[in-house]
Structure 1
Amino acid sequence: MKKTLPDFKQLNDRIIAEPSHEPKLVIETNLDPQQATEENPYAEGAQRVSKTFEAFFQGDES
């Protein structure tokens, strides 16, 4: 017997938020960590991370 997934509109056990139509204000302060790996849950326990990882979290466009 093959299980079928419920229709997406019938799912009521999760919240899917709509994207905001308002602009966001992001401010960097002197309290922010200096390294991309500090207090970052995606780098938790990692000794080294790639340059791409660091660039992504530091906002570099390279």
Structure 2
Amino acid sequence: MEPKQPGNKKMPDFDKLNDRIIAEIPSQPMLVIKTNLDPKNVTDNNPYYQSRDINDPKEFKEYFEE
């Protein structure tokens, strides 16, 4: 039996979306808190930042500054 309203025709194909970061589910709960003691530059002391591995540094900074 076909659904009566299968979905929105204007919705993009999920596999073609490139503006999202889809991460693996962590094995343990995690709490991340940003404080006034954090460095102003998100690349300072950031274990995820290695300049040779980052394709788009602007996108990286925007992600961590949110």
Scaled to the shorter chain, the TM-score interval is 0.3 to 0.5
Relative to its length, the structure with more helix (as a share) is: 1
Task: Give TM-score, length-normalised by structure 2.
Answer: 0.39
Larger Rg: 1
Structure scoring higher RCO (CA < 8 A, sep ≥ 6) equals 2
Task: Give TM-score, length-normalised by structure 1.
Answer: 0.41
